[in-house]
Amino acid sequence: MGLLTGDGLWTAGIFMAIFLLLVDLMHRRQRWTARYPPGPVPLPVLGNLLQINFQNMPAGFQKLRCRFGDLFSLQLAFEPVVVLNGPAALREVLVNYNEDTADRPPMHTVEHLGFGPHSQGVILAHYGPAWREQRRFSVSTLRHFGLGKTSLEQWVTEEAGCLCAVLTDYAGHPFSPNTLLDKAVCNVIASLLYARRFEYDDPRLIRLLDLLKDTLEEESGFLPMFLNVFPMFLRIPGLVDKVFSGKKAFMVTLDELVTEHKMTWDPDQPPRDLTDAFLAEVEKAKGNPESSFNDVNLRLVVSDLFTAGMVTTSTTLSWALLLMILHPDVQRCVQQEIDEVIGQVRHPEMADQARMPFTNAVIHEVQRFSDIVPFGVPHKTSRDIEVQGFLIPKGTILITNLSSALKDESTWEKPLQFHPEHFLDAQGRFVKPEAFMPFSAGRRACLGEPLARMELFLFFTCLLQRFSFSVPAGHPRPSDHGVFGALTTPSPYQLCAVPR
């Protein structure tokens, strides 16, 4: 009983505080070298957690960069973090040190989904055998997809056709293109994963997209970050289900699709899609406990490809249309190039890209300007590394400011403006400066880049081949400032699509 009275509580409290301070000190001692990047003074235990403005991360970080320079440090509770700025530092860390910086920080908030030693999905997987196996599998499935039947390019071309058919129905009335773009891009991922597409009014497609949105929202912000650095709170009964209810429901929907798929799976036929190929690997790996091909990991891999491949691509396309209505002169030049190289009848193909430097430059400039994943995905050092004279010890979380490369003043003539000439030389040939890294770089760079490139090119050219886009009459000119959330999205806008 004594323990619960005032005195006992005080003693316990003081012990607890001393204990936490000691743990804190232990974590921080190794940072006390003169060559560790500078940063704001952290509070005990919490570190700089309270100094981060989760409502507007870029603005808050901007101040720190001004004060401390291109490489600066933060302390998120017990986790040391270094923020990297500038194309040179980013290349050095991601490419030159690729082996030593390819790990990811621990994500305790995904353990409830089945994340474990042999089931880590791809995005958040530690740098080790489970990641290597799944990365290789995804890359090679993407590359060899549909050797037998429909190729990924055919799927994308067909989907672009469906998208254009719906735009015709709007008959020039103002609308917001975002939901439609989400659906079209979602269908491309669905074709890769399940060899199927959904009609745009299919309730399951609508639900899948809603849940995906919820998932992204509940994974960003203060609470998930807090729970990740203080994982003991995740044990509070019912908390995980409440905070991550969207993710749970999303996974259940994916499970249903896989279950349906298993019923029609014939191991003797060539795989129809990524799920079939995965199931075949699971069969092969039966009896090998070390393998990452298992049912738990199937749902994690599928969910990773969905989340990584969906909103990124559709958000970029939404930026592309926005920038076209804001820059009608650029839109006209793209259409002129389409008319010259492809004409008005034939569908665009990937092979056309090489002969369309201007369109290619516009798509790259859309990605550079829109800068949708400004901070990339965090990495972690698995060895001490030395960058630009600073020492970054093993076990430090790295935040790669991709934005600092995409908006670098010494690379780009007009870093803050939409200027497709950034990607053209004096003769009008396409060029790609090294600082262009919206997919990051090195071992962990986006594995979906070839698919994303294909979707951006085919959707964009199909749309501009058939329609001219404009700001609806009487509407104010929309802003080209992004809204920072899980991704940087354009501010809400509407447009008119008039058949050409």
Ligand X SMILES: *[C@@H]1O[C@H](CO)[C@@H](O)[C@H](O)[C@H]1NC(C)=O
Q: Which of 360, 369, 371 is CA-nearest to residue 432?
A: 360
Indicate which single residue of 53, 55, 56, 62 sits in contact with ligand X (rule: CB under 6 A): 62
Q: Which stretch binds ligand X (CB under 6 A): 99-107, 316-324, 325-333, 396-404?
A: 396-404
Q: Which of 295, 228, 303, 217 is CA-nearest to residue 262?
A: 295
Q: Which stretch binds ligand HEM (CB under 6 A): 37-45, 174-182, 322-330, 439-447?
A: 439-447
Q: Which stretch binds ligand X (CB under 6 A): 189-197, 256-264, 400-408, 424-432?
A: 400-408
Size of the site for ligand X (CB under 6 A): 10
**DSSP labels, 229-241:** HSGGGGGSTTHHH
Q: Which of 55, 82, 81 is CA-nearest to residue 69?
A: 82
Query: What span, in angstroms and rounded, lies between the C-alpha atoms of 305 and 421?
Result: 33
Name the CA dihedral angle for 203, 205, 207, 209, rounded to a multiple of 10 degrees. Answer: -150
Contact 400, 85 (CB under 8 A): no
Query: Considering the complex, what minimum distance in angstroms separates the CB of residue 85 from ligand X?
Result: 5
Q: Which is nearer to ligand HEM, 180 or 366 (CB)?
A: 366
**DSSP labels, 270-288:** PPSSHHHHHHHHHHHHTT-
Q: Which is nearer to ligand HEM, 390 or 436 (CB)?
A: 436
The listed partner (ligand X, ligand HEM, none) that binds 447, CB under 5 to 8 Å by sort, is ligand HEM
Q: With binding defined as CB under 6 A, does residue 436 bind ligand X?
A: no
Contacts of 70 (CB under 8 A, 6+ apart): 84, 85, 86, 89, 388, 404
Q: With binding defined as CB under 6 A, does residue 342 bind ligand HEM?
A: no
Q: Which of 447, 228, 168, 465 is CA-nearest to residue 339?
A: 465
Instruction: List phi, psi (to 5°) of 430.
Output: -70, 130
Q: Contact letters (x/-) for ligand HEM, 285-314, by CB under 6 A?
A: -------------------xx--xx--xx-
Indicate which single residue of 198, 230, 439, 484 sits in contact with ligand HEM (rule: CB under 6 A): 439
Q: Which is nearer to ligand X, 65 or 475 (CB)?
A: 65
Q: Which of 438, 443, 447, 445 is CA-nearest to residue 487?
A: 438
Indicate which single residue of 24, 37, 61, 461 sits in contact with ligand X (rule: CB under 6 A): 61
Strand partners, 385: 392
The listed partner (ligand X, ligand HEM, none) that binds 452, CB under 5 to 8 Å by sort, is ligand HEM
Which tokens belong to 181? 């773009």
Q: With binding defined as CB under 6 A, does residue 65 bind ligand X?
A: yes
HSE, CB side, 13 Å, CA atoms: give it for residue 163: 32
Q: With binding defined as CB under 6 A, does residue 404 bind ligand X?
A: yes
Q: With binding defined as CB under 6 A, does residue 381 bind ligand X?
A: no
Q: Contact letters (x/-) for ligand X, 83-122, by CB under 6 A?
A: x-x-------------------------------------
Contact 183, 310 (CB under 8 A): no
Q: Is 66 annotated as a binding residue?
A: no
Q: Contact letters (x/-) for ligand HEM, 122-141, by CB under 6 A?
A: xx-----------x------
Which tokens belong to 162? 């469906």
The listed partner (ligand X, ligand HEM, none) that binds 164, CB under 5 to 8 Å by sort, is none
Binding residues for heme: 446
Question: Interface with ligand HEM by CB under 6 A: which residues?
Answer: 122-123, 135, 304-305, 308-309, 312-313, 316, 372-373, 376-377, 438-440, 444-448, 451-452
Question: Interface with ligand X by CB under 6 A: which residues?
Answer: 58, 61-62, 65, 83, 85, 401, 403-404, 407
